[in-house]
Chains A and B, each alone.
Chain A
Amino acid sequence: MTENPILRTANLSKNFGSVSVLNSIDFHVDPNESLGLIGDNGAGKSTLVKILAGVYAPSGGEIFFNGAPVTFRNPQDARAAGIEIIYQDLALCNDLDAASNIFLGRETSRKIGIGRWLDRNGMMQEARAALAELGADIAPDQLVGSMSGGQRQLVSVARALQFSPKLLLMDEPTAALSNTKIHLLLDLVKNLKKKGISVIFISHRFTDLIAVCDRIIAMREGEIRAEIRPADSKISDLMSIMQRALSGEEIL
């Protein structure tokens, strides 16, 4: 851990009724770091990122963001602090166009006479620029419902980046993509680091994590079981550590 991690949790736990989903999670993300999260279904990965995104309230423990303790009552709080999330299903409105989705819930508007009016041209232009910066050949007025899986993913990335986040959470971003599209996405994640954005990347696919992550945490049954740095050792060693951690052996 560096002096000032961008995010740190202490004793973070979550129960749904009597079921304990997260058990005393301590972890951190450094500035400019991409951290991988791996684990089976039900390991608690998605619950963890949803707490960080303000969707769930933790049952116990603390979250420190930029060194200060934070409480996120809802997704807006997390967004305001600078944490964006891209959900596994992307959470897009198919009947709205790309620009409306990028600005959804954060539309720019102006007060003219009685009431506030959407700045439609301004949002269109900003969306056009944001999509172009991602290299996406998508018109801002194209309906999301008419797009391919890769295009939809780009719209959700553009939305997450639109308001200059400090930390980006990606929940299984490669799950819905074909193999060729996965490489493009992984390159995109590497580029985020150059922009100074920290990333938490959840995936089932170990090879994806090795490709983009500085550090990988393995979770099992609501606990962190192993932590590895892909740069430190051979891939075959990493694989064996991961497999042991995920099958329940004590590593840490």
Chain B
Amino acid sequence: MKTNFSIVKKFSRTSDGTRTIKKFLGPTGLGLLGALIIELIIFSNVSPYFLNATNFSNIGRAMVIIGIGSVGATIVIISGGFDLSVGSVMAASGMLAAFLVNQGQSTVIGAMLALTLGCIIGLLNGFVIGYLRINPLIATLAMLSIVRGLAYIISGGNAEVISNPAFLSIGTDSLFGIPLTVLVFVILFLSVGFIMPRTHFGRYVYAIGSNSRAARLAGILVNRWTLIFYTFSGTTAALAGFITVTRTGQAEPSANIGAELDMITAVILGGTSLSGGKGRLFGTFLAIVVLAILANGLVLIGVPSYWQLPVKGCVLMGAIIWGELHNASRDRT
């Protein structure tokens, strides 16, 4: 079927096909890499403890919890959604795992049921947002209250202190000098990062976030995929909540309040657009590392802990302004 359509050649302009590391990282990735290098230079010069294996292990452990949850948050935000319930899901699923283990169940059962709880909550979020067309901010805000309440109900308001050594070893043990939890985090990031460009799942995250009407008209079952994205987010939040408890050795119903905001900070700082369609998991990863090193470094150089929150806020504000300026300059061309 070779037809002569050359007449429409005038329609097109040549595309610029340059590919470099610069393009791979993008402006956000480059900025984050720069920030990372600046952090390393400043903190290693100011504090003698910074470039220490133990300290790096601490940084790793500290970033794991927000890091794992932010995998799901990245997916949901690229798809044009929002999940405010993750902090509550973390607390409730951590609480459930602790409760079960203290009742004599095995660590594996505790972990499985904690993940199942997160999966179910995510499924409910996805159903309400995808099928009942409720605004995700409102739906997940409601879920935030419901699930936080559930955490108080499971616990009767008390903390569950865990003594099961197998359970606690997950949060404290290392393999080849790398904390187990850091391995879980890195494996999760790498595997989801691998899946994203290679599966329908990954492609539809972007398609739905970019133009959900076009996706629906192209035959993509947008409501079903939305359900899957929120289910995924609930599950990674539950994993993060479970790991929180293995690290601290106790589950509190008030745990992880505001964790969703830390995740959203990382996702936005990593270059994902709040309007959906744009963003990269790798950007979120870099942002998580930059934020964790920042928090650690501020403590090491003796900045009072109250100052951490405003600093984090300024970083987020700066990232958003920078992103907006970048978009504005791109739109002009």
Contact = CB atoms under 8 A, between A and B. Distances in A.
A137 B198 contact: no
Contact of A107 (B8, B12, B200, B206): B200
A139 B15 CA distance: 6
A15 interface: no
Contacts of B206: 93, 95-96, 100
Nearest to B217: A91
Interface in A92-108: 92-96, 100, 104-107
A184 B4 CA distance: 12
B217 A93 contact: no
Contacts of B8: 134-136, 154, 184-185, 187-188
Interface in B195-217: 197-200, 203, 206-207, 209-211, 213-215, 217
A177 to B, nearest CB: 9
A60 interface: no
A100 B206 CA distance: 10
Interface in A129-185: 133-139, 142, 148, 150-151, 153-154, 180-181, 184-185
Contact of A117 (B6, B14, B199): B199
A133 B199 contact: no
Contacts of B200: 107, 109, 116, 118
A95 B217 contact: no
Given A115-B199, A139-B17, A194-B3, A93 B211 contact: yes
Interface in B88-115: none
B74 to A, nearest CB: 15
B203 A100 contact: yes
Interface residues of A, number: 45
Given A75-B218, A194-B3, 5 more contacts: A76-B219, A106-B219, A116-B200, A154-B8, A184-B10
A45 interface: no
B175 interface: no
Given A96-B210, A116-B200, A75 B217 contact: yes
B270 to A, nearest CB: 16
Which 10 A-B residue pairs are closest in the complex by CB-CB distance? Answer: A105-B218, A137-B12, A95-B277, A105-B219, A95-B210, A93-B210, A91-B214, A150-B11, A104-B218, A135-B5
Contact of A137 (B1, B9, B203, B211): B9
Interface string A77-88: 001000000010
A241 interface: no
A95 B78 CA distance: 11
B311 to A, nearest CB: 32
Interface residues of B, number: 35
Nearest to A106: B219
A100 B207 contact: yes
B220 to A, nearest CB: 5
Contacts of B22: none
A148 B13 contact: yes
B7 interface: yes
Nearest to A118: B198
Contacts of A191: 3-5
A117 B194 CA distance: 11
21 contacts: A55-B217, A75-B217, A87-B217, A91-B217, A91-B218, A93-B211, A96-B206, A96-B207, A116-B199, A118-B197, A120-B197, A133-B2, A133-B3, A137-B13, A139-B17, A151-B11, A180-B10, A181-B11, A185-B8, A188-B5, A191-B3
A185 B5 CA distance: 10
